[in-house]
């Protein structure tokens, strides 16, 4: 993990991150974590850099050792209503507000900060630089991935367990063959295009 020095170091701070901005289906999920400096967790890193097995191992450790954590979301309907950027910020806002222990400051992954009253700092590539953000990214990704695996049982033709809703060749072929499900984001270009094509048939 890259060294990172925050102007808020020393304060009780939360790290917050979201997962699922790019997929064509499913909610966008966010998590907020306040780590306990007395209970370090080895191996925290950007969830995308970790194997699924490693994420699943770290998931309960984060929940057990963190001072406070919360996982929240914005729904597919909200994504379609307010766009994915605003839905991602909304999910992060809900995650921080859901913490049992409220932070003095918040470090947000990326370059945008939700509209809230918390003193906050945006950290580009924060999930690789701040352990609390890395922990949040792991919680959010594990929760979202598990949900997509569950959707695979409900919609077995689409392969959600494999691609997690991202626009892979398998997913695009399934969309073309079987159409759009209730968990697809109809405001996203490839899904919108498929709806238009189905209407012409």
Burial class of 65 by CB neighbour count within 10 A (0 to 12, 13 to 18, 19+): middle
Residues 12-61 pLDDT 10s: 899 999 999 999 999 999 999 999 989 999 999 999 999 999 999 999 99
Which token pair is 57? Answer: 């191992």
Please determine, for residue 146, whether its predicted confidence score (pLDDT) is greater than 60: yes
Cα–Cα distance for residue pair 70/139, rounded to 1 Å: 9
109 is in an annotated binding site: yes
pTM score of the predicted model: 0.94
Mean pLDDT of the chain: 93
Q: Which homologous superfamily does the CATH classification assign to the domain defined by 13-153?
A: Ribonuclease H-like superfamily/Ribonuclease H (3.30.420.10)
18 is in an annotated binding site: yes
Q: Which of 39, 31, 38 is nearest to 14 (CA)?
A: 31
Domain extent listing, the chain: 13-153, 155-200
**Contact at 8 Å (CB) between 8 and 107?**
yes
Burial class of 105 by CB neighbour count within 10 A (0 to 12, 13 to 18, 19+): middle
CA dihedral 54, 165, 32, 68 (to 10 degrees): -60
Share of the chain above pLDDT 90, in %: 89
Residues 74-123 pLDDT 10s: 999 999 999 999 999 999 999 999 999 999 999 999 999 999 999 999 99
Q: Are strands 105-109 and 13-19 parallel, antiparallel or unpaired?
A: parallel
At 198, the pLDDT band (50, 70, 90 cuts) reads confident
């Amino acid at each position: 993990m890259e060294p990172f020095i925050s102007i808020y170091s020393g304060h009780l701070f939360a790290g917050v991150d979201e997962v699922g901005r790019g997929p064509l289906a499913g909610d966008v999920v966010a998590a907020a974590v306040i780590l306990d400096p007395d209970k370090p967790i080895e191996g925290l890193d950007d969830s995308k850099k970790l194997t699924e097995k490693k994420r699943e191992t770290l998931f309960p450790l984060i929940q057990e050792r963190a001072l406070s954590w919360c996982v929240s979301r914005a729904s597919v309907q909200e994504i379609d209503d307010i766009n994915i950027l605003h839905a991602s910020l909304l999910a992060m806002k809900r995650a921080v507000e859901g913490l049992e222990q409220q932070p003095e400051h918040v470090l947000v992954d990326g370059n945008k900060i939700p509209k809230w009253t918390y003193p906050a700092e945006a950290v580009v590539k924060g999930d690789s630089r701040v352990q609390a953000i890395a922990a949040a990214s792991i919680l959010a990704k594990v929760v979202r991935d598990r949900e997509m695996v569950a959707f695979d049982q409900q919609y077995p033709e689409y392969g959600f367990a494999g691609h997690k809703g991202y626009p892979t060749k398998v997913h695009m072929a399934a969309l073309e063959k079987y159409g759009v499900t209730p968990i697809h984001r109809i405001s996203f270009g490839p899904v919108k295009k498929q709806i238009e094509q189905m209407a012409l048939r």
